[in-house]
Amino acid sequence: MPAVRMLQHVVGQLLLGPACGCRTSALPARSLGASPWQIPANANFHSASFSETDRPRVLITGGLGQLGVGLANFLRKRFGKDNVILSDIRKPPDHIFQSGPCIYSDILDYKNLREIVVNNGITWLFHYSALLSAVGEANVSLAKAVNITGLHNVLDVAVEHGLRLFVPSTIGAFGPTSPRDPTPDLCVQRPRTIYGVSKVHAELMGEYYHHRYGLDFRCLRYPGIISADSQPGGGTTDYAVQIFHDAVKNGKFECNLKPSTRLPMMYIDDCLRATLEVMEAPAESLSMRTYNINAMSFTPEELAQEVHKHIPEFQITYNVDSARQAIADGWPVSLDDSNARKDWKWKHDFDLPELVTTMLNFHGSDTRIAQAN
């Protein structure tokens, strides 16, 4: 028995730490406790999940939001339909369900998320689940759960299974005390919405996990994203999407921001291409893990003037939403994306005229003009 106790003591000392007494880095306790495999703390995940010649196995969370479906279609053209899995807690429309793999995934259910990653051999994860700015302010408790607790689950799963992780950030991660024109990558942020606070949290947690555990974390701060084939998702910049729906359908639009409110914007094709480019960029080319990207900045008045060139009878009126206006007044006027352009050769394709022409062509403005005439 004394021998057994002595052996237990020796084993216990070995488990507590190395003989030298040096402090070792450990993975998050949940990851170690949940997995039979303990990943070395100094593991390099930049190429651990797949060779560069292989196609990644992709999971998109929050896939039925404004960007998820477009991203899935974009990545499926590159990596194959069956290699990109769209997930959400909602039932997808038939045309999305038929377009490629779609599954149920609740990011607040850690076990469910982990099973999906393991069962499908996921190597890249795009985490799009979030409550946006205006919606988040209306339901702060839910925003904290989805935007913060959900992020923690994703980070832990990504570390445990050596994933390359993309988490989008936003102009909403900046605040009234940030430099506004242009806003650099590194500056005071201090946002005043739960959406912005949660995105700053995501940026810092992702960078912490990268430096502490070797997680291959990548993040872009998106401007307002304008897409033709999706509905607005509750964000402050959504007027720049809704205006095209209403212009073609009704010939008029009521804007909830002041006519002079200038914000950075981007067409979705540029956004999706930037997202893939930063994910494919060699790790050694990245001087940081969170980048600004920029394309154009305009006001509601300037956007309406451009729409009017295509639809002469178009009219815009203003009914300012004080809550959304307060959010917009604290956001950047333009983003300095010089680091993205230098490090991984980012370059946008769409300026305001190309954006308006593309959006109106998609929604069939030619048909409306012909009917009006």
| pLDDT tens profile 267-286 | 999 999 999 999 999 999 99
Q: What is the pLDDT of residues 245-272, one digit of tens each?
A: 999 999 999 999 999 999 999 999 999 9
Q: Label residue 332 exposed, middle or buried (CB < 10 Å: 0-12, 13-18, 19+).
A: buried
Q: What is the pLDDT of residues 151-205, one digit of tens each?
A: 999 999 999 999 999 999 999 999 999 999 999 999 999 999 999 999 999 999 9
- Say if residue 105's pLDDT is above 50: yes
Contacts of 129 (CB under 8 A, 6+ apart): 61, 62, 65, 88, 107, 146, 150
The H or E element that residue 135 is part of is helix 133-138
Residue-level pLDDT at 229: 78
pLDDT at 27: 62
Quick one: 273 exposed, middle or buried, by C-beta within 10 A (0-12, 13-18, 19+)? middle
pLDDT category, 364, cuts 50, 70, 90? confident
Model confidence band, residue 30 (pLDDT cutoffs 50, 70, 90):
low
Active site residue 267: no
Tell me the mean pLDDT in the region 283-296: 98
Q: HEC states along 146-199?
A: HHHHHHHHHHHHHHHCCCEEECCEEHHHCCCCCCCCCECCCCCCCCCCHHHHHH
Average pLDDT over residues 62-89: 95
Catalytic residue among 128, 195, 239, 267: 195
What average pLDDT does the segment 211-220 reach?
98
pLDDT in tens, 314-334: 999 999 999 999 999 999 999
